[in-house]
Structure 1
Amino acid sequence: MALRPDRDWIRRWNWAGAVSDLRFGVRTLRRNPLYTTGVAGTLALGLAAALITFAVAWRVWLAPMSYPEPERVVRLYELEPLDSTTGSSDVGAQARRQLLSAPVLKGFREHSWRTIEAVSAVLTGLPGEWARDGDTQDISRAAVSPEFFGILGIVPTLGRLPADLEAEAEVLLTERFWRTDLGADPDVVGSEMILGDQALRVVGVVRLPSGYPGPSDDVVTIIKWDGDEPRILRFIETIARVRPGYSPLEARAEVNAFVAALGEIHPEHRGWGMDAVGLADDLMRPFRGVLALLLAAGATFLLLAGVNVLGLVAARRVEGRQDRSIRLALGASEGRLLRGSLGEGLVLALVGSITGVVVASWLIGPLRALVPQNVPRLADVAITPPLVLGWLSVGVALGLIIGVSGYLVSRGAKPSVGRAPVWRAVGVGGRRALVVGQIALTTLLTAGAAAILHNASRLRAIDLGFEAEGLSMARTALPGARYSSPELRWNAWRAILDGLHARGIPAAVAENTPMYNSPMSGDNVPPFPIRADAASEEIFYQYHPVSADYFSVMGIDVLAGRAFGPVDYGSSADVVIVSEEFVGRYFPPGTPVERVLGRVIGPVPAAGGAPAPTIVGVVASSRHQGPDAPVMPDLYVPLSRWFAGAGTLLVKGEPDQVAEVVATVVAQVDPDLSWTPLVPYTSHLEEWFAPLRLQIIMIGVLGSLGLGLAALGLYSVMAYQVSARRQELGIRKAVGATEGKLMRGVLASGVTMAAVGALIGLGTWYRLLPFSRELVDGIDSAGYLVPLSVALIVGGSCVLATFLPAIRAARVDPVVTLKGD
């Protein structure tokens, strides 16, 4: 029976010949190990880099969040007024975001919304003490509103969700905690769990969505507020789900109107606005710029690797022209040569692709260890089978392109016997344009990387106003059952501090500390308004309860007056210490810091509207919110005057030097008190700098790869040109051209391409700078010098890559060349 017409090609194809050609290609490549290693290695490098960058960018940024309809989930912020004198507020990008207060959250949950389906508070990373079998274990707790599970579409893996009437007496276990700490025991549901001073009923096990609220929480509890807390205490992270048929922009308009109406009733909200931003976008905001650069770099590397391989293949085809001429002369058909070229290209591509996949799989683990762990969904990054198959397919496509391109380059040979073929440089202009494009892309990419690196270095060099080196810290929350009054809480802290001081260890306690990521840390401390008088401008300050030795332990300079002392904790007088920034904003411009000592300032709302306190000291300003945020006015009060129970113990010394002493002193005061591990304060600074660290790591890898591939591209095209012009160079040398002149000619060609490519890349960088500012904050801080230096480095490195072809051109033997002709 005849084959179907669309399958006749299968019958006509010479399969035995194809296998023979493939074997011939393998033997040929084995005889040229340097060439084979260069081509396969370049492909492996490009494919591995592209695979890793795509895997990271896809899982962390581009892949949809794991909760249903992520485009409908938003995070809510109050927006601080831009103009505090008029009370007007602009809800644009310049407005400062603040978290919500408990009364606002309660109002949101009770309000009948047109665009919003549900609202929930989310507090994560809360310390908890789990009492089990006579022992205690520190665990991390998330506290949420009952609507949290519906907003994120969370259903229990085991058991049920908390019942509304008894929700505060029930607890959920995260699936990770249930499996690792409880051995996936199903009988745990229904049991009692002692968490701190509470006995909670375990009602279920849940799997939290990947990337939010975070991988570190062990249990989830329900939290409710009465709404009696001060409205100025803005510390609650809040999420909401938008109703079907409405957009986040419509929800933003409705919540903004709600807060504007609150401002008519409550002065604390006058002039404030509200923002509703997509949760997924907000989570990615610190990392979006570097991930966009990462994705662009992956595509660029794949393009550079492909172009470089084509250049190397073209150069080899020119050098192998005699072999092709002989095969044609002996009767080989063009089809046979095409099959051989395709077989060789496929072998190279498969070797490079498999090597690239193996290298990427091997590197992805160390990469996850190097990248900061607070990058959302980082733990999910992996080289999955679909990615492997996709990248092998890309490799096969590149192999076909390599085979066809190699055949087309060498097609100019004609059958001849005893005489070398006359060769022409096929497509030299196109290859030059590709190399110029490579250099331009590398310059653009490396300039962006250098600008981000410059911004990271600039932020790290900013004086934070305190000294974190040689400082250790640990946090605790004094249980309310045992420490029911401020006096009891302060007495416990004072006993711990006195015990450490008696052993010669400087220590202090603070309610919140700079740049520490916790619900009431320095970068989450809500701002409080204050006025010097009715006619003065309202300013916003941050409020910090601290112990007596806080400033000396933290390395904050006292500029005038004194620090807190024992007399301030036993006296009924209200005293405060303010920062230099506070003096500059609260008092008339130019007021010396010494002149404000003994001055009385307006009531402090953070202390419940306490009587006007007296300034007894002025200290240097600290960047509690980080080096990228404006310096806020700071107001410090004695710890005993207002202390909620949760605090940070700050100890001079490294953890391995003081941990044992701290544990002994704490055990003497309260052996049942639960603490977070004593860690260096610098570790929390590193958490703040985590996005910058990610950028630096990626930039170092991407910049090196890009520069190497661009140099390899220029080398390949120059090697091709030298091979194609071997006869010309031999003749020129025979008629008197010196080696130096031949070498300078090749170098001049390389310099021209490097200079043109670098200038194009530099111009494109400046052209795209406005768009880059939207992706990466502070990227324009590099000015003109950094990108210009990058262009010079890239261009210079590429010029160096032309030296080897130039040396080969200078060493052409005219006798051999003329004899072959």
Structure 2
Amino acid sequence: MTMAWRRFFRRAWWDDERTRELESYLELETDENIARGMTPDDARAAARRKLGNTGRIREEIYAMNTVTLLDWIGQDIRYAARVLRRNPGFTIAAVLTLALGIGGVTVIYSALRNILLDPFPYAKSDRMVNVWVVDTETGRRWSGGAMGQDELLDFWQQQTVFETVVASATDNAMMRTGTGSDIVSLSEMTPNTFPFLGVPPLKGRVFTEDDAGPGAGPVVVLDHGAWIEKFGGREDILGQVVTVADVPRTIIGVMPPRFAWQAPHMWAPLTLRRGATPPDDRRWWYQAHLKPGVTLAEASERMTAVAQRRAALHPDEYPPHLRMEVLDLRYRVVGPFSRVLYTLLAAVVLLLLIACCNVSNMLLARATTREREMTLRAALGGGRLRIMAHLLTESGLLALCGAIGGCILAWAGIRAVATILPRQGVAFEVQLRLVPEALVASLALAVFTTMIVGIVPAWNASRQDLVNGMRESGKGSGASNKHGWLRHGLVVAEVATSLVLLLGAGMLIRNFASLVSADLGVNPKGLASVAPRFEKRDEPGPALRHQYYVDAVARARAVNGVTGAAQVSNWPYGGWQMTANRPGMRAPGGAELVVTQLCDEHYLGLVRLEPLRGRTLAAADVSSAARVAVISRSLAERYFGNEDPIGQYLDLPDLARAPAYLNDSRFSIIGVVNDVRNQGPGDVPLPGVYLPTTTTLFGNTARQILVRTTGDAAAVLPALERAIRTVDPNVPVRPGSTLENDLRRRFHAQPRFSLVILTVFAGVGLTLVAVGVYGVMAYAVSRRKQEFAIRMALGATRYDVVRTVLRSGTALLGIGIIAGLGMSNISTRLVITSVIGPSGPDVRLSGIVAVAVITAVGLAACLLPALRASRTNPMTALRQD
């Protein structure tokens, strides 16, 4: 066997060797015949007659030293490579088309898998859940989804659906080292969290129950990024002591790069204890591993029973109507972005279908032009399987080249997607990388399509009548009609799917333009803020804390380039969502959510919200912590109708609970201002309420120092941060931001990501449609060349020929557009619900533009072959076969 395979791989050498032996034999035999008295010519002829057919002898010896099947495959591959090389236009177009489809599907599915299906490097991440209390009347998470310590311990001890329960909370703190101080985020979590996550440290160790016990020294574990950024990646970091939140802590470990639980700079152990009193009653996040076999719905039902028992004992801590929600942590983190990814996956599958249709069309058209070649092969003895194998080898080689190109595009595409991927709504642990199964699935579909289309002409060539085939091949439209209906159907499918992509891209373009230009109710230009955060939740007292913010506003106003400053609990969008009622009556339609902002007397003037009725907050209101409120116009209309709200009362019962703990949650209305888009530029605003910042000064409730500048707000931030730090160097100040940058990060990043991806898909799809329509029409014109010549010889004008060709192309475009509009009824609803939202742009205008674009591109693709047909010389065309 070894010798046989050696001869197989050296069969060319063996052929040369046998040729030399045969020639040597002929020469010896010729010499002997000459010695017998023959002439040289007769001697050589006699030697040849005695030896026999040398060519046949060589063939028999060659067949003995080869494997016929492998030899045929090698011949077919070499011939297919020569054919593809001789047709570079066809080859490049087909390979690029396949590569675009394969690469696009691979990139988007990889992003979907990395972001949504497998975002975490943690153990049992598929069973990792979040738990929170929900007010069923408003659909709102109670207390923002976090829990007090007594509440969390009760749920922890009474649950029966979780294997392991952990808790954590993250806050900013001042870190002091021997070289200076810096702001860090510190996550305190129960000691069982590291075993719960199942990720070993990169250096050192993680903390255990002993590190949270009585008398244990304070320790921290560093995030990998913080180790590099804050400590320069020092190898001797273990055992170093840093002071965080006024507590000296020993660094005992460093986590690997992808570990980012709660995304802090460092983690510290936490021991939960009952009986915490305000303002020490922090709020903690509850996470758990679901027991095997327990569904999310079942877990939610059982936890709701636990919550209802606790609510009966503590009615002031819960809404009247509640349920517990247990949600998969992956969907909790990703949120609405999951729908965006699924929509983009559907779009890229459409693109792959367009690519497969285009390649199929090119292969069918090319196969029809090679009918004579296939017929000739059959006439010369080529069997059906042999001809089919030859064409399938050619199709397979084309698919292989497309697969290689798709891999290259996928490798580059995943890096391009990583650069534009929004971080809002994406887990910190996510790492974009190619998913092998996505690449395999895309390759399989592309190869399957190419091979199936490649087998059709081979099957037909092997079954056709050879005489008629030789007569008809390459002539007229009769031969071309074999695959004409299929080619036309593929073009219709391309047009329809491309229209769907174009319509989606058009809607996203208009939606993004409306987001960017949306009127927020305030002018975002020139607004910037920094946020001081006190380390200790109960120090200093309310009076000193209020004075700190007053001094901070004064320092900020003195910064060069700042025209005004104020303190507020949040940006103009966002705020503290809570229920509101008129004392003694409910809001129309039941419980009403409002967005509450805590601000000083300067804020409303700074953002240019002038009073429509009454007045805005005054310095005396803020300094005395008066129970007064300024409300938005929509709230006044909804609660008071035609009544004058000035002097009326508004009840905010949520302020009677943590962290405010007000004895009286009623506020006297002193003014009405315009509405602000407090839910973001793309959503309908909720009614707004503005209260004095001194309403509550306990706890680390957010405060920002907001300024308006004369020029570029970003250029003022460094000086602003330095000015605020001079008020009290011991108070951490988080890095500032501008309102425009925050808008781009929070509200524009995801729409821009969807817009870029879908627009690229739509552009590629439109290009493929143009190529497909042009290819079909050019092929049809070439097949009807003699027909057009006869028409023109009988008096038809060039205009008549152009009109005939355009009529055929327009029919295909029309059918494709009608089919595409039918498909768009479903796709449009998907884009609106998953990406844009109910307040998106009017679909009709986007549909008109999409139809106009694809019609223009399709007609242009038809016009080129039509003009070429109109320039046909009748005499020249009629002389041709």
Question: TM-score scaled by structure 2?
Answer: 0.79
Please say which of residues 483-492 and 244-253 is displaced more in the overlay: 483-492
User: Is residue 434 of structure 2 the alignment partner of residue 383 of structure 1?
Assistant: yes
Percent identity between matched residues is 24
In the TM superposition, 1:501-540 aligns within 5 A as 501-503=557-559, 505=562, 506-515=564-573, 522=574, 525-533=576-584, 539-540=592-593
CA distance in 2 between counterparts of 1:209 and 1:9 reads 60
Match of 2:179 in 1: 134
User: Is residue 735 of structure 2 the alignment partner of residue 677 of structure 1?
Assistant: yes
Match of 1:544 in 2: 597
2:406 maps to a residue whose letter is G
Deviations 1:112-137 (A, max 9, x none): 1122344444545x433322232223
- Over the aligned positions, Cα root-mean-square deviation in angstroms equals 4.1
Deviations 1:624-678 (A, max 9, x none): 3334555333332322342245422212233443234324423432345432223
In the TM superposition, 1:2-401 aligns within 5 A as 12-13=67-68, 15-16=70-71, 18-63=73-118, 65-82=120-137, 98-102=144-148, 105-123=151-169, 126-146=171-191, 148-149=193-194, 151-157=196-202, 158-163=204-209, 164-165=212-213, 169-178=218-227, 181-182=230-231, 187-207=236-256, 213=261, 216-222=263-269, 224=272, 237-264=285-312, 265-267=314-316, 268-319=318-369, 341-376=391-426, 380-383=431-434, 400-401=451-452
CA distance in 1 between counterparts of 2:704 and 2:621 reads 20
Match of 1:668 among 726, 730, 748: 726
SS of the residue 1:380 aligns to: coil
SS of the residue 1:748 aligns to: helix
In the TM superposition, 1:585-600 aligns within 5 A as 585-586=638-639, 588-591=640-643, 595-600=644-649
Match of 2:804 in 1: 745
CA distance in 2 between counterparts of 1:388 and 1:10 reads 39
Match of 2:35 in 1: none
Query: 8 Å contact 1:283–1:376 — kept in the other structure?
Result: yes
In the superposition, relative to structure 1, how do residues 555 and 703 fare at CA in structure 2: closer, same or farther (>3 Å)? farther
2:557 maps to a residue whose letter is H
Deviations 1:431-479 (A, max 9, x none): 2222222222222343344445555555555433333222112222123
Q: CA deviation at 1:278?
A: 1.8
CA distance in 2 between counterparts of 1:104 and 1:688 reads 34
SS of the residue 2:686 aligns to: coil
Query: 8 Å contact 1:746–1:806 — kept in the other structure?
Result: yes
1:464 maps to a residue whose letter is L
In the superposition, relative to structure 1, how do residues 782 and 318 fare at CA in structure 2: closer, same or farther (>3 Å)? same
Match of 2:768 in 1: 709
Match of 2:679 among 625, 647, 654: 625
In the superposition, relative to structure 1, how do residues 128 and 193 fare at CA in structure 2: closer, same or farther (>3 Å)? same
1:670 maps to a residue whose letter is D
Q: CA deviation at 1:582?
A: 3.5
Unaligned runs of 5+ in 1: 84-90, 516-521
Please say which of residues 702-711 and 630-639 is displaced more in the overlay: 630-639
Q: CA deviation at 1:424?
A: 0.4
Query: 8 Å contact 1:568–1:638 — kept in the other structure?
Result: yes
Query: 8 Å contact 1:99–1:234 — kept in the other structure?
Result: no
Q: CA deviation at 1:249?
A: 0.4
CA distance in 2 between counterparts of 1:230 and 1:581 reads 34
Q: CA deviation at 1:336?
A: 6.7
Q: CA deviation at 1:38?
A: 2.0
Query: 8 Å contact 2:364–2:457 — kept in the other structure?
Result: yes
Match of 2:534 in 1: 478
Please say which of residues 329-338 and 286-295 is displaced more in the overlay: 329-338
CA distance in 2 between counterparts of 1:786 and 1:451 reads 9
Query: 8 Å contact 1:575–1:614 — kept in the other structure?
Result: yes
Q: CA deviation at 1:785?
A: 0.9
Please say which of residues 468-477 and 598-607 is displaced more in the overlay: 598-607
Query: 8 Å contact 1:511–1:544 — kept in the other structure?
Result: yes
Deviations 1:156-180 (A, max 9, x none): 4441334242699432222443456
Q: CA deviation at 1:34?
A: 2.5
User: Is residue 875 of structure 2 the alignment partner of residue 815 of structure 1?
Assistant: yes
CA distance in 1 between counterparts of 2:637 and 2:76 reads 82
Query: 8 Å contact 2:578–2:594 — kept in the other structure?
Result: yes
Please say which of residues 101-110 and 735-744 is displaced more in the overlay: 101-110
CA distance in 2 between counterparts of 1:713 and 1:638 reads 66
Deviations 1:58-105 (A, max 9, x none): 22234475333344322233323437xxxxxxx7xx999952342674
Q: CA deviation at 1:557?
A: 3.3
SS of the residue 1:382 aligns to: coil
Deviations 1:345-392 (A, max 9, x none): 344333333233223322332321122123536852223677667766
CA distance in 1 between counterparts of 2:486 and 2:750 reads 40
CA distance in 2 between counterparts of 1:364 and 1:625 reads 32
Match of 2:47 in 1: none
1:272 maps to a residue whose letter is L
Please say which of residues 365-374 and 569-578 is displaced more in the overlay: 569-578
Query: 8 Å contact 2:307–2:324 — kept in the other structure?
Result: yes
2:177 maps to a residue whose letter is R
CA distance in 2 between counterparts of 1:812 and 1:631 reads 65
Q: CA deviation at 1:295?
A: 1.6
Match of 2:794 among 735, 738, 747: 735
Query: 8 Å contact 2:221–2:268 — kept in the other structure?
Result: yes
User: Is residue 612 of structure 2 the alignment partner of residue 567 of structure 1?
Assistant: no
In the superposition, relative to structure 1, how do residues 546 and 245 fare at CA in structure 2: closer, same or farther (>3 Å)? same
Query: 8 Å contact 2:300–2:324 — kept in the other structure?
Result: yes
Question: TM-score scaled by structure 1?
Answer: 0.85
Match of 1:584 in 2: 637
SS of the residue 1:556 aligns to: coil
In the superposition, relative to structure 1, how do residues 538 and 380 fare at CA in structure 2: closer, same or farther (>3 Å)? closer
Deviations 1:305-331 (A, max 9, x none): 122122223333444566667777888
Q: CA deviation at 1:13?
A: 2.9
CA distance in 2 between counterparts of 1:29 and 1:766 reads 41
CA distance in 2 between counterparts of 1:626 and 1:234 reads 28
SS of the residue 1:374 aligns to: coil
In the superposition, relative to structure 1, how do residues 230 and 668 fare at CA in structure 2: closer, same or farther (>3 Å)? closer
CA distance in 2 between counterparts of 1:648 and 1:542 reads 17
Q: CA deviation at 1:568?
A: 3.0
1:441 maps to a residue whose letter is T
Q: How many residues align?
A: 795
Query: 8 Å contact 2:173–2:184 — kept in the other structure?
Result: yes
SS of the residue 1:527 aligns to: strand
SS of the residue 2:596 aligns to: strand
In the superposition, relative to structure 1, how do residues 234 and 312 fare at CA in structure 2: closer, same or farther (>3 Å)? farther
Query: 8 Å contact 2:646–2:671 — kept in the other structure?
Result: yes
SS of the residue 2:248 aligns to: strand
CA distance in 2 between counterparts of 1:478 and 1:258 reads 35
Query: 8 Å contact 2:189–2:268 — kept in the other structure?
Result: yes
In the superposition, relative to structure 1, how do residues 276 and 763 fare at CA in structure 2: closer, same or farther (>3 Å)? same
Query: 8 Å contact 1:260–1:269 — kept in the other structure?
Result: no
CA distance in 2 between counterparts of 1:413 and 1:805 reads 32
User: Is residue 785 of structure 2 the alignment partner of residue 726 of structure 1?
Assistant: yes
In the superposition, relative to structure 1, how do residues 614 and 753 fare at CA in structure 2: closer, same or farther (>3 Å)? same
CA distance in 1 between counterparts of 2:67 and 2:705 reads 82
Match of 2:14 in 1: none
Match of 1:638 among 666, 680, 692: 692
